[in-house]
Amino acid sequence: NKAVDIKSDEKATTAPTPQNTPIFTAPLAAAAAAARIATVAEEDSDALAAHNPALMSMLQGRLGSLIGAPSGYIESLPKAVRDRVDGLRYLQQQHIDIDKQMHMEIYELEKKYSKLYAPLYERRSTIIAGKAEPTDEEKAEGAKIAEAEKEGESALSGIAEEKDDEDEEEQKVVDGIPDFWMTALRNHPQLGELITDRDEEAIKFLRDIRLEYLEDNLGFKLIFEFAENQFFSNTELVKTYFYEQSDVAGILEFKSAQGTEINWKPENDLSVTVETKKQRHKTTNRTRVVKKTVPSKTFFSFFTTVEEPDEDDDSDLAEETRDRIELDYELAEEFKEKIIPNAVDWFTGKALEYEGLEDYEDEFMDDYYDDEDEDSDDDDDEDDDEDGLSRSAKEAAEPPQCKNQ
């Protein structure tokens, strides 16, 4: 299984973490590094592949078999030297044992402070939902922070902003902070790409996002709490992530993930669309309307449980699945380390400044969705009419099949 280092400062080669492969890479640095490494190699390999693809495949296979193979150098050393190397191996193992202890203590420290954060998150949740109002102290201190931020922005731009005090009597009375989580998630570049127009209405019912560490296993779960809505009957959607400790470096790595099965309500399943198409009979020339349920891109694919392929499966589908799992782990870290702790900054957009994402553009989230073949199968005795129609599951006359998440 591919694993993700969640603590080590060393660069991993198999999966992403905030430390070694952050979700937002520096475009210029990445492009420069890729150009330096790939220019000559790509030219040579492309030429070889074009003239003799069979030879290229054979060479790649042989080179792959050499990776990690012993060179014979250590075995050629005198026995006294090999004994000293064995001594170093033992010292290295002791180092790994200490690393294991360190990473477990860090994990326990995270769990401890998660409980200390909990009352702040609960207070935040009640204010967002309109169940409570900020105290005079909370409002006054928050206003000072906002004013300091405005002054900093004005100093950078050279333009002083005038404070716009609206008459309280003219202000519209609202409860809590409407669309708080929708706005926060939309402001996050990658999560914003995941949310479709159809998703927005459902995400408006999102009341809170919480993090809880597992008590009987290594790992954590992300809990999305929803108000009653017309899309699904679940009040909570949960994504659970499991860790395992590496025997090689002692680090905690992602092992697997499991999501909630969403109980979609009839005609409101956002994970599918219903395509309707007119078909004309070859001989009678009569037409009929055929409906077909096809998968649809949606934010709620995040809760799908994706099984990792076998290690020896090198098919394109297996590689796409592994890529999706890695992206899923990255998103989990974004929720855990950024969205939940700094929700108000994502709501106001301040997080885009200190994350350096104000002008960020990326399309790699397209890989997060499954690529499904949506071509319809025609009946043997019928031809497709040129007039094809497509409607959402909500608008369809017949209820679609519910896709298990």
- The identity of residue 390, as a single letter, is S
46-50, 57-61, 110-114, 117-121: range with lowest mean pLDDT: 46-50
8 Å CB contact between 400 and 393:
yes
User: pLDDT averaged over the chain?
Assistant: 78
Strand partners, 5: 253
Locate tokens 């796409």: which residue? 320
Question: Is the model's pLDDT at 132 over the cut of 70?
Answer: yes
Q: Which of 268, 213, 258 is nearest to 238 (CA)?
A: 258
**Tally of CA atoms within 13 A in the half-sphere of 400 that contains its CB:** 27
Task: At 26, list the tokens.
Answer: 């520096």
Residue 33 confidence class, pLDDT cut points 50, 70, 90: very low
Per-residue pLDDT, averaged over 375-396, amounts to 43
- Show Cβ contacts of residue 401 under 8 Å, excluding neighbours closer than 6 positions: 272, 293
261-304: pLDDT as tens digits: 999 998 899 998 888 887 777 777 778 777 788 889 999 999 99
In terms of pLDDT, which residue wins out, 107 or 311?
Answer: 107
- Convert the chain into a string of H (helix), E (strand) and C (coil): CCCCECCCCCCCCCCCCCCCCCCCCCHHHHHHHHHHHHHHHHHHHHHHHHHCHHHHHHHHHHHHHHCCCCCCHHHHCCHHHHHHHHHHHHHHHHHHHHHHHHHHHHHHHHHHHHHHHHHHHHHHHHHHHCCCCCCHHHHHHHHHHHHHHHHHHHHHHCCCCCCCCCCHHHCCCCCCCCCHHHHHHHHCHHHHHHCCHHHHHHHCCEEEEEEEECCCCCEEEEEEEECCCCCECCCEEEEEEEEEECCCCCCEEEEEEEECCCCECCCCCCCEEEEEEEEEECCCCCEEEEEEEEECCCHHHHHCCCCCCCCCCCCHHHHHHHHHHHHHHHHHHHHHHHHCCCHHHHHHCHHHHHCCCCCCCCCHHHHHCCCCCCCCCCCCCEEEEEEEEEEECCCCCCCCCCCCC
In terms of pLDDT, which residue wins out, 283 or 136?
Answer: 136
Q: Which of 364, 254, 239 is nearest to 302 (CA)?
A: 239
Question: Is the model's pLDDT at 46 over the cut of 70?
Answer: no
77-105: pLDDT as tens digits: 999 999 999 999 999 999 999 999 999 99
Cα–Cα dist 365/46, whole Å: 28
Cα–Cα dist 181/225, whole Å: 11
Residue 31 confidence class, pLDDT cut points 50, 70, 90: very low
Cα–Cα dist 176/357, whole Å: 28
Q: What is the pLDDT of residue 49?
A: 54
- For the chain, first and last CA: distance in Å? 22
In terms of pLDDT, which residue wins out, 286 or 183?
Answer: 183
Cα–Cα dist 23/362, whole Å: 11
Question: Is the model's pLDDT at 217 over the cut of 60?
Answer: yes
229-250: pLDDT as tens digits: 999 999 999 999 999 999 888 8
Question: Is the model's pLDDT at 178 over the cut of 60?
Answer: yes
Burial of 136 (0-12, 13-18, 19+ CB in 10 A): exposed
Cα–Cα dist 237/245, whole Å: 27
Q: At what angle do helices 27-51 and 53-66 cross, to 10 degrees?
A: 120
Q: Which of 67, 108, 104, 109 is nearest to 246 (CA)?
A: 104
Strand partners, 212: 221
Question: Is the model's pLDDT at 63 over the cut of 70?
Answer: no
Cα–Cα dist 355/198, whole Å: 28
Question: Is the model's pLDDT at 68 over the cut of 90?
Answer: no
Locate tokens 């409860």: which residue? 175
Question: Is the model's pLDDT at 331 over the cut of 80?
Answer: yes
Q: What is the pLDDT of residue 289?
A: 78
- Show Cβ contacts of residue 274 under 8 Å, excluding neighbours closer than 6 positions: 291, 292, 293, 294, 391, 392, 393, 395, 396, 398, 400
Residue 196 confidence class, pLDDT cut points 50, 70, 90: very high
Q: What is the pLDDT of residue 285?
A: 76
Q: What is the pLDDT of residue 398?
A: 42
